[in-house]
Protein backbone atom coordinates (compact mmCIF):
# COMPACT_ATOMS: atom_id res chain seq x y z
CA UNK A 1 0.00 0.00 0.00
CA UNK A 2 1.35 3.38 -0.86
CA UNK A 3 -0.86 5.16 1.65
CA UNK A 4 0.92 6.97 4.45
CA UNK A 5 1.79 4.45 7.11
CA UNK A 6 0.60 5.02 10.62
CA UNK A 7 0.98 2.89 13.64
CA UNK A 8 -1.31 2.22 16.55
CA UNK A 9 -1.16 4.79 19.28
CA UNK A 10 0.36 3.57 22.50
CA UNK A 11 -1.86 0.80 23.86
CA UNK A 12 -3.80 1.58 26.93
CA UNK A 13 -4.56 -1.32 29.17
CA UNK A 14 -8.05 -0.51 30.22
CA UNK A 15 -8.87 -4.16 30.55
CA UNK A 16 -7.11 -4.38 33.85
CA UNK A 17 -9.32 -6.14 36.29
CA UNK A 18 -10.92 -9.45 36.81
CA UNK A 19 -14.46 -8.13 36.30
CA UNK A 20 -15.80 -9.18 32.91
CA UNK A 21 -17.01 -5.65 32.27
CA UNK A 22 -13.64 -4.04 32.51
CA UNK A 23 -11.96 -1.69 34.89
CA UNK A 24 -13.40 -0.65 38.15
CA UNK A 25 -12.56 2.96 37.49
CA UNK A 26 -15.39 3.29 34.98
CA UNK A 27 -17.91 2.08 37.50
CA UNK A 28 -16.36 4.34 40.13
CA UNK A 29 -16.75 7.26 37.73
CA UNK A 30 -20.41 6.29 37.35
CA UNK A 31 -20.98 6.14 41.09
CA UNK A 32 -19.23 9.46 41.51
CA UNK A 33 -21.46 11.01 38.85
CA UNK A 34 -24.57 9.73 40.61
CA UNK A 35 -23.26 11.14 43.87
CA UNK A 36 -22.56 14.57 42.39
CA UNK A 37 -26.01 14.56 40.79
CA UNK A 38 -27.61 13.58 44.08
CA UNK A 39 -25.84 16.40 45.91
CA UNK A 40 -27.01 18.91 43.28
CA UNK A 41 -30.61 17.79 43.61
CA UNK A 42 -30.40 17.79 47.40
CA UNK A 43 -29.05 21.35 47.48
CA UNK A 44 -32.03 22.63 45.53
CA UNK A 45 -34.67 20.49 47.21
CA UNK A 46 -33.49 21.46 50.70
CA UNK A 47 -34.81 24.92 50.04
CA UNK A 48 -33.39 26.95 52.88
CA UNK A 49 -29.84 27.45 51.69
CA UNK A 50 -28.57 30.81 50.50
CA UNK A 51 -29.45 30.99 46.81
CA UNK A 52 -26.18 32.52 45.60
CA UNK A 53 -24.30 29.68 47.26
CA UNK A 54 -26.58 27.12 45.66
CA UNK A 55 -26.08 28.59 42.18
CA UNK A 56 -22.31 28.50 42.53
CA UNK A 57 -22.28 24.97 43.97
CA UNK A 58 -24.50 23.72 41.17
CA UNK A 59 -22.10 25.03 38.56
CA UNK A 60 -19.09 23.64 40.41
CA UNK A 61 -20.69 20.22 40.82
CA UNK A 62 -21.65 20.15 37.14
CA UNK A 63 -18.14 21.04 36.06
CA UNK A 64 -16.65 18.37 38.32
CA UNK A 65 -19.02 15.77 36.94
CA UNK A 66 -18.15 16.72 33.40
CA UNK A 67 -14.46 16.40 34.18
CA UNK A 68 -15.02 12.98 35.71
CA UNK A 69 -17.01 11.76 32.72
CA UNK A 70 -14.65 13.14 30.14
CA UNK A 71 -11.48 12.03 31.87
CA UNK A 72 -12.57 8.49 32.61
CA UNK A 73 -15.23 7.62 30.09
CA UNK A 74 -13.80 9.55 27.21
CA UNK A 75 -10.20 8.75 28.06
CA UNK A 76 -9.13 12.33 27.91
CA UNK A 77 -6.52 11.80 30.56
CA UNK A 78 -4.84 9.19 28.41
CA UNK A 79 -2.08 9.64 25.85
CA UNK A 80 -2.85 10.50 22.26
CA UNK A 81 -5.62 12.93 23.05
CA UNK A 82 -3.71 16.16 22.51
CA UNK A 83 -5.83 17.52 19.71
CA UNK A 84 -8.99 16.26 21.32
CA UNK A 85 -8.21 18.28 24.41
CA UNK A 86 -7.31 21.36 22.38
CA UNK A 87 -10.50 21.00 20.37
CA UNK A 88 -12.82 20.66 23.33
CA UNK A 89 -10.95 23.28 25.36
CA UNK A 90 -11.20 25.86 22.60
CA UNK A 91 -14.92 25.19 22.31
CA UNK A 92 -15.26 25.58 26.06
CA UNK A 93 -13.37 28.89 26.01
CA UNK A 94 -15.60 30.26 23.28
CA UNK A 95 -18.69 29.11 25.16
CA UNK A 96 -17.38 30.51 28.42
CA UNK A 97 -17.00 33.90 26.75
CA UNK A 98 -20.56 33.79 25.40
CA UNK A 99 -22.08 32.61 28.65
CA UNK A 100 -20.19 35.12 30.79
CA UNK A 101 -21.30 37.87 28.43
CA UNK A 102 -24.90 36.64 28.62
CA UNK A 103 -24.86 36.64 32.40
CA UNK A 104 -23.08 40.00 32.52
CA UNK A 105 -25.57 41.47 30.13
CA UNK A 106 -28.66 40.25 31.90
CA UNK A 107 -27.64 40.62 35.51
CA UNK A 108 -25.46 43.71 35.55
Partner 1 sequence: MAHAHTVKRHTGIMDWLTTVDHKKIGILYMLAGGIFFLVGGLEAILIRLQLMYPQSEVVSAQTYNELITMHGTTMIFLAAMPMLFGFMNAVIPLQIGARDVAYPFVNALGFWTFFFGGLLLNISFFVGTVPDAGWTMYAPLSGTTHTEHFGTDYYVIGLQIAGIGTLIGGINFLVTIINMRAPGMTFMRMPMFTWATFITSALILFAFPALTVGLAALMFDRLFNGNFFDPSAGGNVVLWEHIFWIFGHPEVYILILPAFGIISEVVSTFSRKRLFGYSSMVFATILIGFLGFMVWAHHMFTTGLGPIANALFSVATMLIAVPTGIKIFNWLFTLWGGSIKFTVANLFAIGFIPTFVMGGVTGVMLSVAPADYQYHDSYFVVAHFHYVIVGGLIMGIFAGLHYWWPKMFGRMLSEKLGLWTFWTFYIGFHLTFFVQHFLGLLGMPRRIWQYLDGMGLNELNFISTIGALLMGVGTILLVINIIITNSKPKTASNDPWEDGRTLEWTIPSPAPEYNFAQTPLVRAYDAWWEEKMEGNTKMTPVEPIGPIHMPSPSILPFFMGLGLFIAGFGFMYAREFGTVSLVIGIAGLAITFICMGLRSWIDDHGFHIEEEEILKDQGVKA
Partner 2 sequence: MSSHSHVEGQLPHEPERATLEGRNKITGFWLFLGGETVLFGTLFAAYLTLRGQIMDGPTPDHLFSFLLVAIATALLLTSSLTSVFALQSMHRHDVKALLGWLIVTVILGAAFLGLEIYEFNHYVHEGHKFSTSAFSTSFYTLVGFHGAHVAFGLLWAILIMLQLKNRGLNTTTAPKVYLFGMYWHFIDVVWVFIFTVVYLMGRVG
Q: Does 105 bind partner 2 (CB under 8 A)?
A: yes
Our CA angle for 108, 65, 102, nearest 5°, is 20
Q: Among partner 2, partner 1, none, what binds residue 103 when CB lies within 5 to 8 Å by partner kind?
A: partner 2
Among 1, 77, 78, 79, binds partner 2 (CB under 8 A): 1
Please report which helix (H) or strand (E) contains residue 59, including its range: helix 51-68
Q: How far apart are CA 25 and CA 61, in angstroms?
A: 19
Binding site for partner 1 (CB under 8 A): 1-4, 6, 83, 87, 90-91, 93-94, 97-98, 101-102, 104-105, 108
Amino acid sequence: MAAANGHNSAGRSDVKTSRPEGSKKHVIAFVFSILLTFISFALVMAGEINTDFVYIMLVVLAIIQVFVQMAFWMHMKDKGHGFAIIGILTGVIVVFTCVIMALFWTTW
